[in-house]
Structure 1
Amino acid sequence: MDILGPFPLAKGQLKFLLVAIDYFTKRIEACPLAKITTKNVQRFTWRNIIYRFGISHTLSTTQEPPYRLTYGADAMIPVEVGETSHRRQVFNSKQNTQELAADLDLVDELRDEAQIHEEACKLRASRRYNTRVRPRSFRVGDLVWRLLGEARKDTSDGKLAPTWGGPFRVTEDLENGAYRLEELSGKPIPRTWNATHLKFCSHLCSHLCEHLCSHLEKIHGVS
Structure 2
Amino acid sequence: MKESHEGVKFLIVAIEYFTNWVEVEQVATISAERVKQFYWKKIICCFGLPGVIISELANKIILQGLRRRLEEAKGRWAQELPQVLWSYHTTPHSTTQETPFRLTFGTDTPNRNW
Greater share of strand: 1
Relative contact order (C-alpha < 8 Å, sep 6+): which is higher? 2
Question: Quick check: TM above 0.5?
Answer: no
**TM bin (shorter chain):** 0.3 to 0.5
| TM-score between the two structures when normalised by the length of structure 1 | 0.23
| TM-score between the two structures when normalised by the length of structure 2 | 0.43
